[in-house]
Structures are given as C-alpha cells and as structure tokens.
Chain A
Amino acid sequence: MKSLAELQAIREKTLNRINLRKEEESEATRVVIGMATCGIAAGARPVMLSFMDEIQKRGLQHVTVSQTGCIGMCRLEPMVDVIMPGQEKVTYVHMTPEKVGRVVAEHIVNGRPVEEYTIGAAEK
C-alpha cells in the first residue's frame, strides 16, 4: 500500500475544501453516472474515472460525482446527468472519456451545456 502518511497529507489538504463546500451546499453541481450492467458494458467506468480525474486536475470545488442504476434506456449508455444549481438537468448519452473534457470545460466550468452530446440531439 502506498504510504498512509501520504494519505494523511492529502486529507489535510482536502479538509479545508470540504468545509468550504458544506457552507455552500446548494451551490454544488452533481454529476450522476449510470452504473448498471448496461452502463458498465457500454463503458461507464472509464467515463466516471475521467470525470474524477478532470475534476481533480482543475481543482473544482463544488462538484460531486455519484452513480445511479439503469433507467431503462440501455441503448443510450453510458449516460451522464449533469445537475447544476438553478438550471434544468442535462442528460448526456453515449459518453466516452474523450467527451468528458469538453463537458467539464464548457458545461460545468462555463455553464453552457454541450448540446451535440445530449439526449435531445441523439434522439432527433
């Protein structure tokens, strides 16, 4: 195991950020990824890890990533919902790790959903 001492250092660094976030709970952006059999088979795991990686690299403070089950549209997996405070939920379909960078930069950071990746564009 990589040293637990190293983990302690990471803990200290993270702690301040968490306290900050708690004060502004309603401001948090939620990223929800479908992780049932269909999502996993379609590639949800690398998508999820890419989101974590991108959020860490950019040091984004108010973003949480979580999972959900199958919502019955298996053909569109991997699916990702991005829920930003004060905005309508945006559902992205057929996600890939390559698409994650754009979703984070354009939508989560700058507030403009990437229309061409959304369920609306896919179902036309």
Chain B
Amino acid sequence: MRDLSLHILDLMQNSIRAEATVVSLSVLLDDNGILSIIIEDDGTGMSEELLSRVMSPFATTRTTRKVGLGIPMMAENCRLAGGDLQLESALGKGTKLTATMDTASIDCLPLGDLPGTVTTLVTMNPDKPEFVLHCQSPKGEMQFDTREIREALQGVPFSEPEIAAWMLESLREEIEPIFGGVIL
C-alpha cells in the first residue's frame, strides 16, 4: 500500500465483512507528532483463536486465496515508523484496531487521500454500516457521521454519483486544513 488512506480502506472492509452496523474511524495527530489511527466496529468480533493468528499473513477468512495481508502489512508499516498495531476483539462485541506511528520517522507513510477513502466506503456500502469519522490535529478537528447525512437525504442513496461528488468535495474542504502540510 502506498499510503495510510489505502490501508484504512482495506482494514475497514474487515469491519464491513464482520457485519458491523456502525464503524468509526479516528485519525488523531498529537502535539508530539504521534499519529493514531483507530478503527472500531460493532461487528461479529473475533474468537481468541482467530485473534491470536490474525497478525499472520497466512490467516484469512476468505476462500478465494490462502493469504490475508491487510493486517500484517499495516502492522509492519507501523513498526517501521516506530509505532505498533494492536487489536482488541470479542465475539459478539466487535473489534477495535489501534495503529500508531511516529510521523517524524522517515518510514512513516503519508496519509494520502483520506476523503477518497471515506467517500469510497460510503458510496460502496450505501445501506449499512453507518460511518463515523473523527479527525484531529493541533490545527483543528472535524466530525463526519453518515447518520446525519442519511437523515438529510431522506431515502436518496449514498451511491448516487452527485452525492458522492458532494461528499468528496466536502470532506476535502474539511480535512485539508487539519492535516495539510503535516502528513497529507
């Protein structure tokens, strides 16, 4: 993966596959330049047995191939950038993934097109789950919640191209000032 937003798109597909009703994503940059990416869902969760081997590239729930690289690749990129990836999960409760890295590290990936990632997730999954996005840096913060937009749209699906265009532009306007010039 070339940037963190692609990792986020990939990892959040796991939450969708786990039949989550709400998936929240927080991208937080603190005063010391430590970046945390937290993905939390209320999906099916993982058994202790699956949780114990999910960091391995040879663990996957799919049947089309024998490797599952999403989590191990992200974990490796976190470690390269002086951070770590942690998973908490319980069957029936959901899963929380916390990825940290030091943005001062030369190996820290850029954030990339986060608005593109969120727009893709929302338009490709128009019915469920609900997505909540929270971005914060010393420069400011923003919140985005598909439940608010769903209410405003009154039945018009997120998959309409005009809605996607609006979302992409609106997210760009809001995220740019928060992370622009720092990690974008």
Task: Contact check, B174 vs A1: say whether CB atoms are below 8 A apart.
Answer: yes
> Residue on A with the closest CB to B154?
A11
Task: Contact check, A40 vs B165: say whether CB atoms are below 8 A apart.
Answer: no
Task: Contact check, B159 vs A2: say whether CB atoms are below 8 A apart.
Answer: no
Asked if A56 meets B64 with Cβ closer than 8 Å, knowing A35-B13, A45-B6, A48-B120, the reply is no
Q: How many A-B residue pairs have CB under 8 A?
A: 99
B152: interface (CB < 8 Å): yes
Q: Mark A17-32, 1 if CB is under 8 A from B, else 0.
A: 1100000000000000
Q: Mark A99-120, 1 if CB is under 8 A from B, else 0.
A: 0000000000000000000000
Interface size on A, residues (CB 8 A): 36
Question: B170 touches which one: A2, A55, A64, A74 (CB < 8 A)?
Answer: A2
List chain B residues, Cβ under 8 A from A2.
166, 169-170, 173
Task: Contact check, A7 vs B153: say whether CB atoms are below 8 A apart.
Answer: yes
Task: Contact check, B161 vs A56: say whether CB atoms are below 8 A apart.
Answer: yes
A65: interface (CB < 8 Å): yes
Question: A52 touches which one: B68, B73, B154, B165 (CB < 8 A)?
Answer: B165
List chain A residues, Cβ under 8 A from B164.
49, 52, 56
Interface size on B, residues (CB 8 A): 42
A122: interface (CB < 8 Å): no
B46: interface (CB < 8 Å): no
Task: Contact check, A41 vs B1: say whether CB atoms are below 8 A apart.
Answer: yes
List chain A residues, Cβ under 8 A from B170.
1-2
B24: interface (CB < 8 Å): no
Q: How far is the CB of B156 from chain A (nearest CB, A)?
A: 5
A70: interface (CB < 8 Å): yes
Task: Contact check, A14 vs B156: say whether CB atoms are below 8 A apart.
Answer: yes
Task: Contact check, B124 vs A48: say whether CB atoms are below 8 A apart.
Answer: yes
B97: interface (CB < 8 Å): no
B81: interface (CB < 8 Å): no
Asked if A49 meets B168 with Cβ closer than 8 Å, knowing A41-B1, A69-B64, the reply is yes
> Residue on B with the closest CB to A55?
B161
B87: interface (CB < 8 Å): no
B130: interface (CB < 8 Å): no
Q: Which of B36-44, B88-96, B111-119 contacts A (4 or more CB under 8 A)?
A: B111-119
Task: Contact check, B117 vs A45: say whether CB atoms are below 8 A apart.
Answer: yes
Given A37-B73, A49-B168, 18 extra CB contacts under 8 A: A1-B170, A4-B149, A7-B153, A11-B152, A11-B153, A13-B162, A14-B162, A14-B163, A35-B9, A36-B10, A36-B13, A37-B10, A37-B70, A40-B6, A41-B1, A52-B164, A65-B123, A74-B65
Q: What 8 A-B pairs have minimum CB-CB distances, sorted nearest first? A: A2-B170, A56-B161, A72-B64, A67-B124, A55-B161, A52-B164, A37-B70, A52-B161
